[in-house]
Amino acid sequence: MIPNQFCADDHHTCQTMTELMARHLPQGKSLGRLRCYAKNDDIWRPEAPSDRVYLVQRGHVAVVYADAQGHEVVLRIVEEGQLLGELCFCTPEQSLRETFARSTVETEVLEVKYSEFVNYLQGDLAALQGLLFVFCTRLGETERRAEILMYRSADERLSRLLLQLAETRGHPHKAHPGPVTLHVRHDELAQMAAMSRAHVTVTMGKLREQGLVSYERNRPLIVNMPQLAAHINKS
C-alpha cells in the first residue's frame, strides 16, 4: 500500500521507481494517443485547457513560463518515461495551463485525457502509489531548484545547478564514482540558473580552469561531482 516497501534508501532508486510507475501506468489499458513533435514544437500553450496529461516516451520536454515581455524561464525539464502535465487534482479540466510545454529535441508523447487518467487511477492502487512517487520526486526537485535560486552569486548558483543536474539526470562514467556527463547547452543553463547566457559562459570557463568541470565544443559536459561539492562548501 505504502510505496516505502519498494524503495531503497537513496533518492536515485526512488526516481527510478517513479519512471517505472509512469511507464506502467496507462500502457496496460492502451490508453491515449501517441503524438510526435519535432524539436521546438509546442505541446501546449498558455491558453490551452489542462484537460489531459502526457507520458513522455522519447525525447525531452521543457515546461516554460513566459511573462508579458516574453522573458522566458524554464520551470522543469521532463524526460523519457516521466509524466508531463499539471498533476494537480485541484485545477482540472476547465482551467488553462499558463505555461508552454516545448520539445527540446524530437519527442514522442502519449496523450491521455484527464478523465481517462482519473478513471484508470480509480481502479488501480498501484497507479496511485506511482502517483505518490511522482509527487514526491517532483517536490524534492522543485524545492532544490528554489534553494539554488536563492543564492546571489553566479558562481554559486551555477555550481549548485550543475550538481543537481548531475545527480538527477547525469550519466555516470563507466563505474567511476566521480565524473558524470550531461548534455546541456549554456543557454539552457542560463535559463535554469537565472543568468545571462554570456555570463554562464564566463562562469563555466572559470569552473573549467579550476578543473571542476570539463567540456569542449560539441563534446558533452563532464561534471566532477566531489570536487564541485567541495568547491561549494568553501566559496
Partner DNA sequence: AAATTGACGTTAGCCCGCTAACAACGATTT
Partner DNA sequence: AAATCGTTGTTAGCGGGCTAACGTCAATTT
Which of these segments, 27-35, 76-84, 174-182, 183-191, binds DNA (CB under 7 A)? Answer: 183-191
Chosen from DNA, its own copies, none, partner binding at 45 (C-beta under 5 to 8 Å by type) = none
Name which of residues 196 to 235 contact DNA (CB under 7 A).
196-199, 201-205, 215-218
Q: Select the binding partner of residue 227 from DNA, its own copies, none (C-beta < 5 to 8 A, by kind).
A: none
C-alpha span between 12 and 15 (Å, rounded): 5
Three-class DSSP category at 78: strand
Is 87:45 a contact under the CB 8 Å cutoff?
A: no
C-alpha cell at 174: 563507466
Question: What character string, x for contact with its own copies (CB under 8 A) and - otherwise, covers 125-164?
Answer: ---x--xxx-xxxxxx-xx-xxx-xxxx------------
Q: Binding string to its own copies for residues 186 to 215, with x set by CB under 8 A, is what?
A: --------x---------------------
Cα separations (Å) of 14 from 55, 97, 130, 137? Answer: 18, 28, 10, 8
Q: Which is nearer to DNA, 18 or 203 (CB)?
A: 203
Q: Measured between alpha carbons, how far is 171 from 222 in angstroms, rounded to an integer?
A: 10
| Span of 20-28, 56-64, 167-175, 179-187 interacting with DNA by CB under 7 A | 179-187
Which CB, 65 or 215, lies closer to DNA? 215
Residue type, position 2, single letter:
I
Rounded alpha-carbon distances, angstroms, from residue 35 to 48, 103, 108: 17, 12, 6
| 196 burial type by CB count under 10 A (0-12 exposed, 13-18 middle, 19+ buried) | exposed
Rg (CA), the chain: 19
Picking from 61, 132, 137, the residue whose alpha carbon sits closest to that of residue 99 is 61
Taking the complex as a whole, the smallest distance from the CB of residue 196 to DNA amounts, in Å, to 4
Contact residues for DNA, defined by CB under 7 A = 152-155, 185-187, 194-199, 201-205, 215-218
Contact residues for its own copies, defined by CB under 8 A = 1-4, 7, 9-11, 13-15, 17, 65, 67-68, 71, 73, 75-76, 87-92, 94-95, 118, 121-122, 128, 131-133, 135-140, 142-143, 145-147, 149-152, 194, 232-234
